[in-house]
Amino acid sequence: MKRPPATILLSAILMVSPAAAQLALPGAVAPNPEGTVEKVRSPHKAAKPAAAYAPPGAATVSGRMLLLNGANGQLQFSGRPDALRIDRFSMVGEVISDSKQQCRIDVGGGAPIEVKSLGRPDGLLRFSADIPACPFEFDVLDGAVLAPPQLRACVFQAADCQASPSGLWGPSGAALQTTAKPIEHARALAEAAMTANYRALDARLKDRTKADDLARDQARFSSDREDVCRDYSHESAHSFCATRLTEARAAFLKARIDEMPAEVAEKSPAPRRHKPKPKPTPNPSQ
């Protein structure tokens, strides 16, 4: 059974001004001005998530040539903002009869391949390609698509070739080195959004077992991200893969928050209803 991409991997970092940071010594507590009352934060109040990460649309990958791990194969889409079609799809794999040799397979013989929209189950647009020899799903990221691990390689007997679409399909890793600074900035924003959304989701979970599971899942994210991104071309020079997977994680956590029922607002005490004053009884002697 395939696991959804963003699930497999699948903040606002507290910011202070430089002046305030110099005064915030460990363990120090600033005294309240005389005559003021310290406000105590309610322990039940959930942390506010960062500004929601706007999930990318299909237009961010339409018309672009994407490479698996920024290095090989070809995956090119066309389509409308909410729909895609594969125009070109090729993979590099290994020869079935001799695994020491590489092979290249043109999936679909160069003919367009229709894909089906699966909505946004984990916060990102998800599509499925129903290719007889190689069915797979993928999530749309900003300028890339992420395909989950496959249980087995796609086998093309007639071509004596087997290959897998699993991994991040994105721009050439070598070409991304010139855009390292903007990617670094995008990653900082993604890390902040992810952290804030994790804290907000954790604060809403009343079942501590589920909260512990979430904590373990979050702790594994860094190693999962490393497993996916270690093969991306020149990743250490631009961190494109790590940035996109962090954005996917932030979107996943936001989707889990949106699934939960809205928190019940604290009810203010109902105003007291004053009993009507009894009417004076007329005095019969008057």
Q: What is the 3-state secondary structure (H, E, C) of 246-258?
A: HHHHHHHHHHHHH
The per-residue pLDDT for 65 is 96
Check if the beta carbon of residue 87 is closer than 8 Å to that of residue 112. yes
Token representation of residue 32: 């309240």
Distance CA(107)–CA(104), nearest Å, equals 9
Tens digit of each residue's pLDDT (9 = 90 or more) over 240-270:
999 999 999 999 999 999 998 765 333 334 4
Long-range contact list for 133-139, CB < 8 A, 24+ apart? 133/107, 134/107, 134/163, 134/165, 136/2, 136/165, 136/166, 137/2, 137/4, 137/5, 138/5, 138/165, 138/169, 139/4, 139/5, 139/6, 139/248
Average pLDDT on 217-233 reads 95
From first CA to last CA, the distance across the chain in angstroms is 94
CB atoms near residue 153 (< 10 Å): 17
Tens digit of each residue's pLDDT (9 = 90 or more) over 96-116:
999 999 999 999 887 899 999
Give the pLDDT band of residue 212 (cuts 50, 70, 90).
Answer: very high
Give the pLDDT band of residue 79 (cuts 50, 70, 90).
Answer: confident
Query: What residues contact 117, with CB distance under 8 A and at least 6 apart?
Result: 82, 83, 125, 126, 127
Q: How far is CA 219 from CA 10, 222, 224, 255, in A?
A: 11, 7, 10, 19
The per-residue pLDDT for 48 is 58
